[in-house]
Amino acid sequence: MSIRSRVVIVGAGYAGVMAANRLAGSQGLTESIIVTVLNPVADFVERIRLHEVAAGNRETAAVSMRTLLHERVNIVQGTASRIDPGHRKVHLSGGRAPLDYDILLYAVGSTQPSHRIPSGAYGLKDSEDAHLLQAKLMQLDPGDTVSIVGAGLTGIEVAAEIAEKYPQLQVRLISRGVIAGSLSVSGRHAITNRLSVIGVELIENTEVQKCDGSSVTTSGGDILRSECTIWTAGFSAPELARDSGLPTDASGRLMVDESLSCPQYPNIFGAGDAIQAPSTVASHLRMSCAAALPLGAHAADSIIALLEERPPAPISAGYVIKCISLGRRSGLVQAVRANDQPRRLLIRGRLASMAKEQVCQKTLSWIRGERRRSGSFNWPKGPRPEETR
């Protein structure tokens, strides 16, 4: 009997599940690999839906993992505490027996470390956070103030969702820089105009130094009333790779080459928010579902190439649009170049809201499509080399 290669995927987010389905369904590898996914929670969490859950517009962002994963993928619920590349083991918290691997895919995603969320503020990193915030918002009195700190796309969507759902509350969005700075001038204007229309107070170029259950204090010394403070800044990679002695950048992300393989350990690959690929292919990629899906698919392709003893291809993934929800009745779609730089084309309002919802639904459709037929997921190619510099 031939020995099958054990592929362990640490993390079952968008990148990990996409990779697992492509590997498990690959026709040439059916009898030669065993794919195991390790994840801290039993369900798949649609992180792009958490702001809807927090506002009370959606019951849950959890989806049964088994409905998304290929039937040949084994699921282990647990948390990796350390990776031992020398002995090819993934150690688990709680003293459980480690998982042995021949090939490892590091796909742990991004998170909000608890120590980076000030005392008195609510995070939004997972389903538990979303439900805690939902309960808090329902307890607030009319006229109470909700402050969202961090005006990236997540902060914008959270502010709009809450302001639309709770018009009796005062909602404030605080940004260290310019709100919606990654969009075109007209895109930024459309975002700020919509937020203002639904009653969101916008504060730009301001840092929050501290907060408690009733106020936030800015770097300028202003103390602003805030009965509920939501921290949407500071998402970063978990410390697992760094703590395991794997090569990481200054932010703790696993360093990989253009094929998404770790040069020091050719049997370790990476995908998703927790990796750093060379700037020649990935300088334009940001932490996002839109990047995680093609990265997961390509990591699987590189693993297949390794098993089939052929050279892997470099990753090439680009963007087409940015979709932003602005509550349930409005949104914005910004056309972008492959390197994520904005184009002039914009779609606003109800039509953009519908487009955003279609894209959110499509993410699970792509994953399930890969479950049915390995290799079915395709993504736009990345920018030309001169555009990544």
pLDDT-derived band of residue 116, with 50, 70 and 90 as boundaries?
Answer: confident
Q: What is the predicted pLDDT for the residue at 101?
A: 98
**Overall average pLDDT of the 14-42 stretch:** 95
Who wins on pLDDT, 135 or 213? 135
pLDDT-derived band of residue 122, with 50, 70 and 90 as boundaries?
Answer: very high
**Overall average pLDDT of the 4-24 stretch:** 97
Q: What is the pLDDT of residues 273-328, one digit of tens each?
A: 999 999 999 999 999 999 999 999 999 999 999 999 999 999 999 999 999 999 99
Q: What is the predicted pLDDT for the residue at 2?
A: 57
Provide the 8-state DSSP code for 190: H
3 state DSSP class of 355: helix
**Overall average pLDDT of the 240-260 stretch:** 97
3 state DSSP class of 60: coil
Rounded-to-integer distance, Cα 165 and Cα 370, Å? 35
The answer to whether the beta carbons of residues 104 and 268 sit under 8 Å apart is yes
Q: What is the predicted pLDDT for the residue at 234?
A: 79
Mention every residue, 6+ apart, whose C-beta is less than 8 A from residue 300: 18, 19, 20, 22, 23, 26, 105
Provide the 8-state DSSP code for 277: -
In the predicted structure, residue 137 carries a pLDDT above the cut 80: yes
In the predicted structure, residue 80 carries a pLDDT above the cut 80: yes
- The percentage of the chain sitting over the pLDDT mark of 90, rounded to a whole number, equals 91
Q: What is the pLDDT of residues 207-236, one digit of tens each?
A: 999 999 899 999 899 999 999 999 998 789
**Overall average pLDDT of the 229-249 stretch:** 94
CA R_g for the chain: 21
In the predicted structure, residue 143 carries a pLDDT above the cut 70: yes
**Overall average pLDDT of the 118-141 stretch:** 95
| Averaged confidence pLDDT in the chain | 95
For Cα atoms 168, 169, 172, give the angle at the middle one, nearest 5 degrees: 145
pLDDT-derived band of residue 45, with 50, 70 and 90 as boundaries?
Answer: very high
Low-confidence winner among 25-34, 69-78, 133-142 (lowest mean pLDDT) = 25-34
pLDDT-derived band of residue 388, with 50, 70 and 90 as boundaries?
Answer: low
- C-beta neighbour count of 382 within 10 angstroms: 23
In the predicted structure, residue 389 carries a pLDDT above the cut 70: no
Return the axis-axis angle of helices 289-307 and 349-372, rounded to nearest 10°.
20
β-strand partners of 334: 322, 346
**Residue-range domains of the chain with CATH:** 1-40+78-111+236-317 (3.50.50.60), 120-231 (3.50.50.60)
Provide the 8-state DSSP code for 111: B
Tokens of 102: 């021949």
- The percentage of the chain sitting over the pLDDT mark of 70, rounded to a whole number, equals 98
For Cα atoms 234, 237, 242, give the angle at the middle one, nearest 5 degrees: 130
The answer to whether the beta carbons of residues 73 and 370 sit under 8 Å apart is no
Q: What is the predicted pLDDT for the residue at 259?
A: 98
User: CA 130, 136, 139, 144 torsion: positive or negative?
Assistant: negative
In the predicted structure, residue 17 carries a pLDDT above the cut 80: yes
The answer to whether the beta carbons of residues 265 and 246 sit under 8 Å apart is yes
Return the axis-axis angle of helices 349-372 and 14-24, rounded to nearest 10°.
40
Mention every residue, 6+ apart, whose C-beta is less than 8 A from residue 287: 110, 235, 273
Whose CA is closest to 259, among 297, 225, 229?
297
Rounded-to-integer distance, Cα 173 and Cα 93, Å? 38
In the predicted structure, residue 385 carries a pLDDT above the cut 90: no
Terminal-residue alpha carbon distance, the chain: 50
pTM above 0.75?
Answer: yes
Q: What is the predicted pLDDT for the residue at 1?
A: 35
Q: What is the pLDDT of residues 351-363, one digit of tens each?
A: 999 999 999 999 9
